[in-house]
Amino acid sequence: VIKRGSPFEDRYIPEPNSGCWIWLGATNNKGYGVLSRKINDKWKVVLATRFSYERRHGAVQSGLCALHKCDTPICVNPDHLFMGTKHDNTHDAIKKGRMHHGERSGPAKLKREQILEIRSELVKGATHSSLAVRFHVDRSHISRIASRQYWPSV
């Protein structure tokens, strides 16, 4: 974990190719990053995306939520976020095919080209967790690709 000195700043890593900030902290049951903040002397759980957006762009109207321009629900880069309603979010997800394929239901089948890409990213120093997020698989899956338990011939 990179120490930048705040509960938000210490909990993400920038992903060099996409520019996504990969949230490493806690997530809620929908897979979105969350953090605790003390507001009026009470601890409240807030969405990391909303926190990040407001920090950069100012307060968000109630009823709106921070949505992703990128395809990475766990990304907290304020430049990848925009404000919309939950309806926009659902609409967006359907458009991108996420609802039908259940992005998080299990490791997607990776293609040979993706294995090559993962291996080349590993050589360049990409972390297993950032690759896991990018390719929508478990971190253990990336480890097995790295150690050539999976795809030994590629």
Binding site for Zn ion (CB under 5 A): 20, 70, 72, 75, 77, 80
Q: Which of 11, 80 has the CB closer to Zn ion?
A: 80
The answer for 137, left when phi > 0, alpha when psi is -120 to 50, beta otherwise, is beta
Q: How far is the CB of 53 from Zn ion (least distance, A)?
A: 12
Q: Which of 20, 110 has the CB closer to Zn ion?
A: 20
Q: Tell me which residue of 78, 22, 37 sits closest to 55, measured CA to CA.
A: 78
Q: How far is the CB of 44 from Zn ion (least distance, A)?
A: 25
Q: How far is the CB of 147 from Zn ion (least distance, A)?
A: 28
Q: Which of 31, 44 has the CB closer to Zn ion?
A: 31
Q: Tell me which residue of 83, 28, 30, 96 sits closest to 52, measured CA to CA.
A: 83
Beta strands in 24-70 (DSSP E): 34-39, 42-47, 65-68
Angle formed at CA 87 by CA 60 and CA 138, multiple of 5 degrees: 90
Q: How far is the CB of 18 from Zn ion (least distance, A)?
A: 6
Q: How far is the CB of 49 from Zn ion (least distance, A)?
A: 10
* Alpha carbon distance 113, 89 (integer Å): 30
Q: Which of 28, 149 has the CB closer to Zn ion?
A: 28
Q: Which of 79, 117 has the CB closer to Zn ion?
A: 79
Helix (H, G, I), strand (E, B) or coil at 132: helix
